[in-house]
Amino acid sequence: MQTPWDHRFAQRTQRMGSSAIRELLKLTEKPDIISFGGGLPSPDVFPKEEFREACDRVLRDHATQALQYGPTEGYLPLRELIVRHTARYGIEVTPENILITSGSQQALDLLGKILINRGDRILVESPTYLGALQAWSAYGAEYVVAPMDEHGMTMDGMEEALRSGPKFIYVLPNFQNPTGVTLAYERRLKLIELADRYGVPIVEDDPYGQLRYEGEHLPSVVVLDSQSRDSESCYRGNVIYLSTFSKTLAPGIRMAWVVAPPEVIRKLVQAKQGADLHTATFTQLVSYEVARGGFLDRHIKLIRQVYGERRDIMLGAMDAYFPPGVDWTHPEGGLFLWGTLPPELNAADVLKSAIEQKVAFVPGSPFYPTGGGHNTMRINFSNASADNIREGIARLGRVLYEKMGQTPV
């Protein structure tokens, strides 16, 4: 269908990223495929009954407010709940530091809108979260990268990267998407020290921080930054912190938040007014009703148990079924692990064969902002059942053995 719109698209649409991977992932949505592709939480841990009761209470007692327009900043009791929630993880802020967003993806988009001029450099991990690249490339961002190893963002080239004048540093310190890797404590301190020295602020994206299955909780970058100057843990504003209910309550409500200095919140509010006026009042009130009274913390314990078991099953199945020469990370939390194939293999080719065997994952190269990673793969362990994890990894193992010309022992 030819229309007059066809030659009117803005230049930025050329930077909005191909949908090749999206098309490939559509293949994996067939019901007979065991997919480790999506970043999907498990419906087994959705608090369905709590949502049903919360909707009932909200529509019985607060229907007028829940169904009406609301403030762009978000529903105040929810912002206050988030203040209390984050305080227990060491982030001391007030509601004027909180903006409710329609998922963390919107937070990334709004940050791009208020911060990125075309050609601005952003210092990101390589690989990093694809959604951030997608949001920011539309505003003309360019990227300088800090390669990842098994302890997170490496610090070796950091000073050189900072000297190139990035607008900000983007870091996912806990169980990173896509690699599952956690930024080591010493590196967190080093990152803050270098960021301070070069005057470059930080965006910390932390959707999975509470989903830790082993080891000790590490303080967030925003917390360490606040402690670095004062004896009291008072928010300094150098670090913008993002988190979400998508992995702890449910992603289908699109409920997340930004912690930022008031001046940044004011700009984000202006941008959000133009973007969607406000996040749905109804789902904000429902989220508040579900989360309050300690439910959120109790529920997170259940999720840790379920996902921790699935991670263990997947790691065990990989040990059993994957050929020598394939490596993978051992994440201490989160939803993903990261496989590395021998360099002569291409993960996109492997995926095609895998789909024929009714199993799927995400090839890693799109997560690399400046190229690379052809032989890497992101594998989700939260969504599939224990049986499907074993069966899917066994199938994937057979594909890998065949691709590598080996025979299972």
DSSP per position, 22-40:
HHHHHHTTSTTSEE--S-P
Q: What is the DSSP string of 108-125?
A: HHHHHHHHPPTT-EEEEE
Nearer to a second copy, 17 or 342 (CB): 17
Which one, 109 or 332, has the nearer CB to a second copy? Answer: 109
| Least distance CB 269 / a second copy (angstroms) | 8
Q: Which is nearer to a second copy, 334 or 397 (CB)?
A: 334
Q: What is the closest distance, in whole angstroms, from the C-beta atom of residue 143 to a second copy in the complex?
A: 15
- The 3-state DSSP class for residue 363 equals strand
Smallest separation (angstroms) from a second copy to the CB of 343 = 31
CA distance 385 to 168: 39
User: Cβ of residue 120: shortest distance to a second copy, in angstroms?
Assistant: 8
Query: Residue 318 Cβ, how far from a second copy at the closest point, in Å?
Result: 25
* Separation of alpha carbons 260 and 239, rounded Å: 7
Q: In this structure, is the dihedral angle defined by the CA atoms of residues 358, 359, 362 and 365, taken in order, positive or negative?
A: negative
C-beta separation of 377 from 338 below 8 A = yes
Q: CA torsion angle for 347, 353, 358, 362 (degrees, to 10)?
A: 10
The smaller minimum CB distance to a second copy, of residues 218 and 360, is found at 360
Nearer to a second copy, 46 or 185 (CB): 46
**Cβ closest to a second copy, residue 17 vs residue 90:** 17
Shortest distance, position 98 Cβ to a second copy, whole Å: 15
One-letter-per-residue 3-state SS of 245-264 = CCCCCCHHHCCEEEECCHHH
Identify residue 233 by its one-letter amino acid code: S
* Of the candidates 196, 201, 204, the residue with the CA atom closest to the CA atom of residue 220: 204
Question: Which residue lies nearer to a second copy by CB, 264 or 348?
Answer: 264
How many alpha carbons lie under 13 Å from residue 266 in its C-beta half-sphere?
3
Q: Which is nearer to a second copy, 86 or 375 (CB)?
A: 86
Least separation in angstroms between residue 332's CB and a second copy is 24
Q: Closest distance between a second copy and the C-beta of residue 16, in Å?
A: 5
The residue among 118 and 352 lying less far from a second copy, judged by its C-beta, is 118
- Tracing tokens 């230049």 back to the chain, one arrives at 11
Are 377 and 28 contacting, i.e. CB atoms less than 8 angstroms apart?
no
Tokens of 195: 């960021």
Q: How far is the CB of 306 from a second copy (least distance, A)?
A: 15
- 3-state percent breakdown (helix, strand, coil) of the chain, nearest 5: 45, 15, 40
